Each structure stands twice: as structure tokens, then as C-alpha cells.
Amino acid sequence: MDFDATARWRLLSGRMDWDRDAAGQVYEWIHDSYSQYFRAYHNLDHLAECFGHFDRIRRHLARPDMVDYALWMHDLVCVPGSICNEALSAMAAEQWADRLGAPEGFGRTAGNYILLTGHGLTAGERGGIPPDAAYLLDIDLAVLSRSTPEYEIYETAIRREYACLDAAVYRKGRCQVLAQFLTRPRIYRTESFGGSYEQQARANIRQAMHRLTQEEQT
């Protein structure tokens, strides 16, 4: 995948006029985090895919640099099985924004967006979420709408990332995660994604759950 992470980060830091030394340190941390050996999916390739979608919908965003920064940080902490990944990533995003010299409230807003990427059912059901955050969530979930062969590669990568879990435990947990998307009226919150991706995403999820159920019965 054609993704120059270093150049992309420099463009963002230049637009934001961040402290150069701090920006370099943050980038090293980002790169090292997304390059951890166990990350079979939540890695630099995932960022590349996210930014591909970001570029497509950038014109719809009120604060594109905010979403840009949140994308870099949204999977910074990735501990398979942990329920704290989003909270810790959000905390890091806020702390580093202050060190970078970002405007007041920039890091806090980015952190709030990152918290939503846990994709819980209640994430946006209490009065809605900001439109920019909705785009961030849809970008993160765009993988669900891959072509069938590419989606199967994604599911395999997720299983590898959770290799620490027993097969039965993994199947149960994965089915629960996937099933909660099917209970929603819409997986995607924006028309830019829902109009094109909703049907394929639901088909992929149903097929993945069927395979997991079949594995459990064998």
C-alpha cells in the first residue's frame, strides 16, 4: 500500500505549526506503537487504509486536522482483550497535543472522539455525536465493507492479533462484537459510507458469524 507515514505526519505538523522536536518524538512513538510485533491488523496498514478513506471525505469535515490527528492516535494503545485501549489512547492524544503546542481544547476534543471508537451501542445514542466524530467512526469501520476475500483476510488478521485467547473464548467474544453491529439500524452514521458500504458490511458480518458458529460445532 502506497502510504508514506512520515511525510503525512510532517504535513499535519506543518499545518498545525507544532513544535518540531515534539512532533518528531510523537511520530517515533506512533510508528513504534503501530509496529508492535503482535499487531496483525491494528498496524500501519490499518492507518494507511483509514487515511485513504479520510482523503475521500475530507471536504465534508469541519475540522479535518482534528480528525487527522485523532486517526493517528485512535489505536495508539492496543492490548488484545483490554477494555482500556480507547481510554488510554485518548489520554495519550490529549497529553501529546498539549506538548505539541496544539490550540487549547484540541487534544481534549480529539480524545473524546477516540473514546467513541470503542463502537459501543451507546456511543452516539444519547443525543447524537459531532458530525466529524461520525466520520471518524465510519472510517474506522470501513474495513467491514471490504470485498469478501479482503474481509476474510481482515478476520484472519484479527484472530492472529488475539492469538493469546483460547479458540472457544475468541469465537464467543468475536461473535458478540460482530452481532452488536447487526442490531443497529445502521452500522454507518454518515451517508458517505452508509450509502455505499452498509449492505456489504452486513453480508460480511453475517458470513463471519456463520463461519465462527460452524467452527464451534466441529
Domains of the chain as residue ranges with CATH? 5-217 (1.10.3210)
pLDDT for the residue 216: 72
Cβ neighbours of residue 11 under 8 Å, at least 6 residues apart?
A: none
Mean pLDDT, residues 31-56 taken together: 98
Answer whether residue 44 shows pLDDT above 70: yes
d(CA 4, CA 137): 23
Question: pLDDT grade, residue 215 (50/70/90)?
Answer: confident
pLDDT at residue 217 in the model: 72
| Whether the Cβ atoms of residue 132 and residue 110 lie closer than 8 Å to each other | no
* Confidence band for 143, pLDDT divided at 50, 70 and 90: very high
| 142 burial level (CB within 10 Å; 0-12, 13-18, 19+) | buried
Q: How far apart are CA 91 and CA 85, in angstroms?
A: 10
CB 106, CB 66: distance < 8 Å: yes
Residues in the chain: 218
- Angle, vertex CA 33, rays to CA 97 and CA 20, nearest 5: 40
* Residue 168 CA, distance from chain mean position: 25
pLDDT at 123: 46
pLDDT-derived band of residue 2, with 50, 70 and 90 as boundaries?
Answer: low
- What does the pLDDT read at residue 218? 65
Quick one: what percent of the chain has pLDDT higher than 90?
90
Average pLDDT value for residue range 56-80: 98
What's the pLDDT score for residue 117?
95
Check residue 119 and give its pLDDT: 80
